[in-house]
Amino acid sequence: MPSEAFLKLAPFARRAGVAITGRERLHRQSKELVFLWVTEDASERTVRELRSEFTCPLMRFLTADDVERLLGFQGTKVVGFTASSLATSLFRECQGHQVQEDPP
């Protein structure tokens, strides 16, 4: 479970325009991404693909229902956060949920 601060700050990310969804848009803005939030109900294949496609950290926690409740994105399992002080604060609050690299 992410911190209480994450849950309080997350709704502001969409209004501020720092929370983005959609693979194409994520790829277009990949250099600006602070981190990707991947939900627990996303498949392992999705996580592997994201890990190989993006260089930013992947955080995995909560569910697609939580994304909808916090950000208003329906049926979304991957959310990117673009460079901003808000995204940096959100990243700091969810660091315990980072997806670890597979061992070689």
The answer to pTM > 0.75 is yes
Which CATH superfamily includes the segment(s) 4-97?
Ribosomal protein L30/S12 (3.30.1330.30)
The Cα 7–Cα 83 span in angstroms is: 19
Domain ranges of the chain: 4-97
What is the tens place of the pLDDT at every residue in 31-71?
999 999 999 999 999 999 999 999 999 999 999 999 999 99
pLDDT tops 70 at residue 27: yes
CB 45 within 8 A of CB 78: no
